[in-house]
């Protein structure tokens, strides 16, 4: 969706420079900034993002990892 917003000139210049330095378009920079802003101010969004990430992880246990964890716990008990 396209939209128009007003921002101070100095903020625009800083954002424009950041976009150039990082090789991103201004649109992508603004999208990322707004997403991060909203994520930090919505506690439920953090939980939702973690849940979505965990859902993408294979639920099958890794036998090597399980054994390594067991051995590590034995050494530290």
User: Within 13 Å, how many C-alpha atoms sit on residue 53's CB side?
Assistant: 6
Q: Over the stretch 14-47, which tens digit does the pLDDT of each residue have?
A: 999 999 999 999 999 999 999 889 888 887 877 8
46 within 8 A of 39, measured Cβ to Cβ: yes
Q: pLDDT at residue 77 above 70? A: no
Residue 22: which residues within 8 A CB-CB, separation 6 or more?
29
Report residue 74 as tokens.
């034995």
* Cα 49 to Cα 55: distance, rounded to the nearest angstrom: 10
Domain boundaries, the chain: 9-76
């Amino acid at each position: 969706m396209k939209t128009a917003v007003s921002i101070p000139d100095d903020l625009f210049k800083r954002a424009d420079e950041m976009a150039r330095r990082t090789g991103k378009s201004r649109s992508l920079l603004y999208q990322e900034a707004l997403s991060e802003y909203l994520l930090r101010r919505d506690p439920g969004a953090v939980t939702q993002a973690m849940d979505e990430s965990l859902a993408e992880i294979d639920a099958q246990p890794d036998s090597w990892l399980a054994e390594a964890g067991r051995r590590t716990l034995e050494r530290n008990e």
